[in-house]
Chain A
């Protein structure tokens, strides 16, 4: 009896993988020792000034193009003030009422669980990341690491178009895929290069007014995102059904208790004292810049999905390939050499991907190249080897780095398709099993499978199955 539907919007932060920070030439790398990626600007030393990293803007433009957003020709940076040790200047340089990008949308692909859906965006803006505060349990101090301070972020704010936790997760996944395709963000939630806050409210079915919304912060996995939204929907539904008001607040998610917890209420919300940053001129993005980025845009997930569907791949296969741009590139390279898409997809997503995952390798690190894969598929297509033998050949290709042709020749794995050769072999098998032959002649047709198994064993899997069938039928038919 759910009379209320969840109304959800996400604020997603993507760390742009530029070589230096948003406003200083300082480097950045995740996981390095604390405070090894800092410079006087990052420390917010007196007298330092921000200088915009144009490459970050280029990446931001690519994102806006991928989301079909409007790129503002003029936008401004603004200072957002609050005091916290991980915020060196006592303010974050962000964008307030004049972001570089407004509007746009992300289309969620159709899957077995949900139909396709368009999620609209309100805006995207550029801002600096803060450092990281670590509270040392049981001690009376905290540690601050400024490696992350100043790293460029794009904050993507969606309209509250999402209607379920699952939809929210699907949206975040699609955003993740998009930014990885664009090559602008690693989008690794565990490492913090992709972060998400969720705004949740309830609306009575049929009503147009939105309810009071609450924000859940610091969700750093898809699992937690889903669980947190569901927990918050439960909390709000509970309040509403008891006739209690929902107070606007900020919450965190407690995964142990599967509950959201209020961090601070609206009254305690900070006044950020926004100030247009006087150290930075307005950001001007002209048509020429946009056209330049457009020209360098790779094929995006939506277009890729459509292309693969057109090749006849199943929607499951399409999603496996599309979710891993490097794998999709491997696939594209293989079919470009002439391989048939469905079998290429099969071998790549099952055999190859299986081994790469087991070895924690990326497609780029694969010992088998698209050319190698194509050669194997070609041998299979021409019937030089059987499917079963193919798996062995692939294993040797992967582990030993030998080429398919070599392996087949050197190890004598060629498929036996000569009907005369097979006739002798089949005849020998039938001769060795007179009782089963008699059973077959009496009508037990199932025995045929036994013969096939024996033939395959005796031929060490190299007998061409269809020729075997023909020959077997022939020999069984004659007296």
Chain B
């Protein structure tokens, strides 16, 4: 089987072939490493390629298979980890100069579980610095480019994770989602991106951005691959006090569940949003029709206070991130500026080590936490968050999932929004609700935006579920996928 054929297979198909011995893990790894190396100049999806260790790990898997030992559910599957997942003895930068040389002495739970499943890590993936951004332009390293149109952004903050899978540099990637950072890049790059229920997947070893909002999740080519990955990642971690002690169901089996009679809710008010691209709106309506065709009942719901979602989200995430980033001072690890006094050490390390967006958010976050402002901003945001959560609970009494576009627009051009942070923030309008309420949400390929002056750009369709209802989301998503072909399309062949 040639490399191109290998790369056109889904992650679960690769695992089966490796388990059977039809193809070696080493060959699979080589096929993806080749592609990753080819596309690195154009897309810059990888922060770091770990080809040597990938091939070594793959060979070890092949040895075990030859010895007759059983292999894990992701046997030989080449994966990429967003560079905010800590990997032992492999530089983990979190997209920042301040950690540009950091060599962790421990592995994140995610790296451990993927390895236990016999996945093969191809490398670490580029991201917006400290996961702050929606375009992967907030980086001291190269900006990541969308494989569908190289002068467009891949989305963010898991931009590298999305670009790598879309360009077939890996079969599956891990991203993190705090306000939409898995789902939005998935929608920009034509992938499935799943953000689990808060606490479903451990946060240990995932460098914290906003602790009460962050979740790790898979980015894949289709729904079933995401289901397998979730099964590997989910489950209680005693090293994360916020991880849930809930049973992990069979997510793959859930994909085959019938959806006839299931109810999907739409809040029409959210579609009257000014910034909603007309093509995105059309694609959304088409996806709704697909679900109707599968026997799903569409109902109207109201999500009150969702208009307050963005300010609430930003008040909370900026405050929490200002707190979480207080530890980056160059004293114990990471980059340290030259300084003559302690004050200079702190000032210079942080001023020079952090990028502009990170500094912006730290300052705003510290402002929000000031004693004088606490009640008005953070305290208030906590209260509104509760209202938003309750709004979802009430809506879920009347439906099984809530549908919306993932992003109001398809991928924009590099540089187009970089100068206007607030316009960047406002684009999170459809995604932040699920983070605020701690609910599972999935973005799936839902069409393309066509224009004369550029290649087609993917459009994402989002479903938000009730707490721990990933099986329901996967079932409805799989049903949509069964009647569409968006997920089968690939970006144009890479440049020379």
**Are A278 and B212 neighbours in the complex by a CB distance under 8 Å?**
yes
B86 within 8 A of A: yes
**What would be 30 A-B contacts, judged by CB atoms less than 8 Å apart?**
A43-B333, A44-B332, A45-B86, A45-B106, A46-B102, A46-B104, A47-B86, A47-B108, A47-B207, A49-B204, A49-B239, A51-B240, A51-B241, A83-B346, A85-B331, A89-B327, A90-B325, A90-B326, A90-B327, A90-B329, A273-B369, A274-B374, A278-B212, A278-B320, A279-B211, A279-B241, A279-B242, A280-B241, A281-B241, A281-B242
With beta carbons under 8 angstroms apart, the residue of B241, B319, B326, B346 that contacts A91 is B326
A90-B323, A271-B371 are known; give 7 further A-B pairs, CB within 8 A.
A44-B327, A46-B102, A49-B208, A49-B239, A88-B327, A272-B371, A281-B241
Chain B residue with Cβ nearest A79: B323
List B contacts of A51 (CB < 8 A). Answer: 238-241
Chain B residue numbers with a CB within 8 Å of A48 are 204-205
Cross-chain contact A85 with B241 (CB below 8 angstroms)? no
Chain B residue nearest to A82 in the complex (CB): B326
Q: Which of chain B's residues have a CB closer than 8 A to the CB of A91?
A: 323, 326
Given contacts A46-B102, A49-B239, A90-B329, contact A273 B366 (CB under 8 A): yes
Least Cβ–Cβ distance between A456 and chain B, in angstroms: 73
Q: Taking the complex as formed, is B478 at the interface, i.e. its CB lies under 8 A from any CB of chain A?
A: no
Q: Is B383 an interface residue (CB 8 A)?
A: no
Q: Does A275 contact B (CB under 8 A)?
A: yes
B residues neighboring A (CB under 8 Å): 84-86, 92, 94, 99, 102, 104-106, 108, 203-208, 210-212, 238-242, 319-320, 322-323, 325-327, 329, 331-333, 340, 342, 346, 366, 369-371, 374, 378
The 6 closest A-B pairs by CB, nearest first: A90-B326, A273-B369, A278-B211, A278-B212, A46-B207, A47-B86
Q: Which residue of B lies closest to A86 (CB)?
A: B331
Any chain B CB within 8 A of the CB of A81?
yes
Nearest to A277 among chain B residues (CB) is: B211
Q: Once the chains are docked, how many angstroms separate the CA of A142 from the CA of B341? A: 11
Tell me which residues across on chain A come within 8 A of B323, comparing CB atoms.
Answer: 79, 81, 90-91, 273, 275
Do B108 and A49 have beta carbons less than 8 Å apart? no
- Smallest Cβ-Cβ distance to B210: which chain A residue: A278
Taking CB atoms, residues of chain A closer than 8 Å to B84 are: 47
B interface, over-half SS: loop
B265 → chain A closest CB, angstroms: 29
Instruction: State whether the Cβ of A52 lies closer than 8 Å to any Cβ in chain B.
Output: yes
CA distance A263 to B240 in the complex (A): 39
Q: Name the B residues within 8 Å of A280 (CB-CB).
A: 241-242
With contacts A44-B332, A49-B203, A279-B241 taken as known, whether A273 is within 8 angstroms of B108 at the C-beta atoms is no
> Whole-angstrom distance between the alpha carbons of A271 and B84 in the complex?
30
Partner of B241, one of A46, A50, A273: A50
- Point out the residues of chain B lying under 8 angstroms from A279, CB to CB: 208, 211, 241-242
- In the complex, A85→B327 CA distance in Å? 10
Q: CA separation between A345 and B289, bound complex, in Å? A: 92
CB of A249 within 8 Å of the partner chain: no
Q: Could you tell me the distance in whole angstroms from the C-beta of A331 to the nearest C-beta in chain B? A: 45
The answer for the CA separation of A46 and B130 in the assembled complex, in Å, is: 11
Known: A51-B238, A278-B320. A46 touches B203 (CB 8 A): no
Interface residue from A45, A140, A281 paired with B104 (Cβ < 8 Å): A45
- The closest CB in chain A to the CB of B326 belongs to A90
Query: When the two chains form their complex, are residues A47 and B204 in contact, meaning their CB atoms are under 8 A apart?
Result: yes
Question: Within 8 Å of chain B (Cβ to Cβ): is A453?
Answer: no
How far, in whole Å, are A74 and B352 apart by their CA atoms in the complex? 42
State in angstroms the CA–CA spacing of A280 and B211 once bound together.
Answer: 10
In the complex, whether A245 has a CB less than 8 A from a CB of chain B is no
Cα(A274)–Cα(B323), bound, Å = 10
Do the beta carbons of B241 and A49 come within 8 Å of each other?
A: yes
